[in-house]
Structure 1
Amino acid sequence: METNATPVSATSVGLRYGLLTGLISVIISFGLFAASMEQSPLRFVTFLVLIVGIVLAMRHFKEHNYGFMSFGQGLGIGTMISAVVGALSAVFTYVYLNIIDTDAVGRMMEKARADMEAKGGLSDEQIDQGMAMAGKFMNGPMMVVIVLVTSIITGVLLSLIISAFVKHSKPEFE
């Protein structure tokens, strides 16, 4: 592994790769929203983009820090990336659903209702209650918070796993 003589900080790598990963995720999300495929299995492509972004960022950090990265540094990089991706995704989702395509929330709510009715076992009153609760989370600042928190939690969990494999700590007695 070739190393660079200029070490980089975990924060700078996390921010750089967070912005790149976030922009790619937003572009993919825009495509899914525009095609009315926001609830298709393709939405998990952004999850794969996050994984690739975290792995590439950790490899970049190691490459520029003489081949070393501690578990904590890897966790910090992944958490920073997921926070930036979450913030970009939350802002994009809010702007898209409240300004660009205000009918998207209605489509998602209709699909959720149809899924609940098809599943069976719920009365109309229970479905109405569920839809009322979902409506509170689909509008406004609560949606932004949910997108951000979900992204950070997912990123931390992924970073724990990825860091365990990518880390290469400095020897203690050198």
Structure 2
Amino acid sequence: MENTSTSAVTTTSAGLRYGLIIGVVTIIYSFILMLTNMEQNAGMGFVTFIILIGGIVLAHRYYKQHNGGFMSYGQGLGIATITGAVIGLLSGIFRYVYVTFIDPQYQENAMNAMRAKFEEAGNMSDEQIDQAMQMTQRFTPSGPMGILIAVLGTAFFAFLLSLIISAITKRNRPEFE
């Protein structure tokens, strides 16, 4: 019987661990963006995308370190999906708490900023802007539904990213080991 110095880590434990870590990082980053009114900035949103990719890569690396350096493609997909779901849960709860208790005017301010951007662009009539604003309000869920959509959306997005990331980070065990 071979004695190894690394203990096996499951895909679930790796996903939960890095979901919690990256979820907290994302919450701190989102809180800073909300306080500085920079959440609508597309460049700042891109940083959140980079944080998610980095979290998936780190979760894969952690899993491989504790499993003899190996991780299958399917395990990589599972880790990323669990990581994304945990990040979505934490982010959804944070957004709900922020919008409900910390800054109840946040949603209204965000809608006003969006209207100002539409008006500044000058390529839409007032009627079209009003329609766009109504559609945005209709499809911006709040409360428990917002949390559920954050969980499902982030898990799905992490899964999609992981289709590529897992192909790069996987390392299959030799068949005849």
TM-score by length of 2: 0.89
Letter of the aligned partner of 2:75 in structure 1?
A: Q
1:136-173 per-residue CA deviation (whole Å, 9 max, x = no partner) reads: 23352343344333312220111111110110011223
Letter of the aligned partner of 1:59 in structure 2?
A: R
Larger mean CA deviation between 138-147 and 38-47 belongs to: 138-147
Paired positions, count: 172
Corresponding residue for residue 147 of structure 2:
144
1:33-58 per-residue CA deviation (whole Å, 9 max, x = no partner) reads: 11221112223322211111111110
Corresponding residue for residue 167 of structure 1:
170
Q: Which consecutive segments of 4 or more residues in structure 1 shift more than 6 A?
A: none
TM-score by length of 1: 0.90
1:50-100 per-residue CA deviation (whole Å, 9 max, x = no partner) reads: 111111110111111111100000000001000000110011111111211
Larger mean CA deviation between 143-152 and 121-130 belongs to: 143-152
CA RMSD after TM alignment: 1.7
1:4: how far off? 4.0
**Residue pair 1:94, 1:140 contacting (<8 A) in 2 also:** yes
Runs of at least 5 residues in structure 1 that lack an aligned partner in the other structure: none
Report percent identity of matched pairs.
49
Letter of the aligned partner of 2:118 in structure 1?
A: M
**Residue pair 2:14, 2:59 contacting (<8 A) in 1 also:** yes
1:139 & 1:69 partners in 2: Cα distance?
37
Pairing partner for 1:105 from 87, 104, 107: 107
| Secondary structure, counterpart of 1:171 in structure 2 | coil
Asked if 1:153 is matched to 2:156, the reply is yes
Corresponding residue for residue 21 of structure 1:
22
2:92 & 2:162 partners in 1: Cα distance?
20
Are residues 86 and 117 of structure 1, via their aligned partners in 2, closer, same or farther at CA, if it must alter by over 3 Å? same
